[in-house]
Amino acid sequence: MRNAFYIVLLMGMVLSSNVLADECPKGVVRCGTTEDGLSWSISNIKDENGNDVILSNGEIAQELSIQGTGDMQNYAAKGEGIAPWRKSQTGDSDTAPTITSVVIGDGITSIGVSAFQKMTSLKSVSLPDGLKKIGVTAFNCCYYLSEINLPSSLETIEDYAFYATTLSDIDLPENLKTIKPRAFGYISTLSSIVIPENTIVISSVFKREGSSLIDIENVYCSEANTSCQALKNDPGMAEKVKFYEPTNEGYFYKNKWYANVNDIGTPNYIKKKIYTLKEAEKLSKETGNTFKLKYK
């Protein structure tokens, strides 16, 4: 009798972290609470007509929302101990084949190890202000992840955090302190990136695993950034790292390109706005004004 009681208790504990829709709020497909007290819920994504969005595999596209306060716990890469949202309702999957969007709520200060690793349908992630760290392999091998915001509070991006994703436009926050090895490795869609002046960047941050191949084309740095000086000494990065200084067409300030060009006949119209490098390049093409970087 006592054994039966413990079996029932154990089943209740398991279900509490992965509850089906009839025990979740209305409109939620699955929900639960993690060991560290964060609540999570998965809902179907609707189109403008209120219909379910259907993926190419025939499944319904879903959004994962995580709420709570404090650091997110670390998870296993596969097998026992993976994040509960990476499992299917039957618990037989670790790739979350239906989740295309993740929203992390305010109050969460770090993303745990392997929290979203190999979520094969994930395309976009919203991170909160106040987030300080993105853990090791947090989004590793999320092959279709192309949209993410990095909040100004972010201080550390750990090893393999975004390895093998499809990010193309990454705006690194000025307060970022460290980017660890291969954090942005094996991203063939990432053409250029600007490293903040005080960020320590490890030489292998853009490399593929077990290879000297580096997909990124340009890494822009302030010459005052000593870790970028070391990055340029890497044989695979020598031609990719570019140091900048002011020109007549504009200049970098911290992590932004200050576009000093004219628009619609009004002198210095754009001079009051800060642009990312990609925005400045686009603006120059649209207006017919050109700018260039002068490298040392």
* pLDDT at res. 222: 77
Stretch among 7-16, 35-44, 136-145 having the lowest mean pLDDT: 7-16
Amino acid making up residue 163? Y
**Percent of the chain at pLDDT exceeding 70:** 73
pLDDT of residue 39: 97
Q: Find the mean pLDDT for residues 67-73.
A: 98
C-beta pairs of 122-126 under 8 Å, 24+ apart in sequence: 122/96, 123/147, 124/100, 124/148, 125/101, 125/149, 126/101, 126/102
The pLDDT score that the predictor gives to residue 266 is 35
Q: What gap in Å lies between CA 132 and CA 195, rounded to an integer?
A: 17
Q: What's the whole-number mean pLDDT along residues 261-273?
A: 37
Tell me, what's the pLDDT at 201? 95
Least confident stretch, 25-39, 212-226, 251-265: 251-265
Of the two residues 238 and 105, the one the predictor is more confident about is 105
- Amino acid 183: pLDDT: 97
Q: Please tell me the predicted confidence (pLDDT) of residue 118.
A: 95
Asked if the model's pLDDT at residue 295 lies above 50, the reply is: no
Q: How many CB atoms lie within 10 A of CB 142?
A: 27
C-alpha neighbours within 13 Å on the C-beta side of residue 157: 28
Q: What is the average per-residue pLDDT within 138-158?
A: 96
- From the list 179, 213, 180, 212, the residue with the least C-alpha distance to 195 is 179
Q: How far apart are the first and last CA of the chain?
A: 79
Which residue shows structure tokens 């829709």? 21
Phi then psi dihedrals of residue 202, to 5 deg: -80, 145
Res. 148: pLDDT tops 90: yes
How large is the average pLDDT for residues 23-32?
Answer: 92
pTM of the model: 0.80
Domain residue spans of the chain: 1-190
Residue 125 burial class via C-beta count within 10 angstroms: exposed 0-12, middle 13-18, buried 19 and up: buried
Q: What is the mean pLDDT of residues 126-143?
A: 97
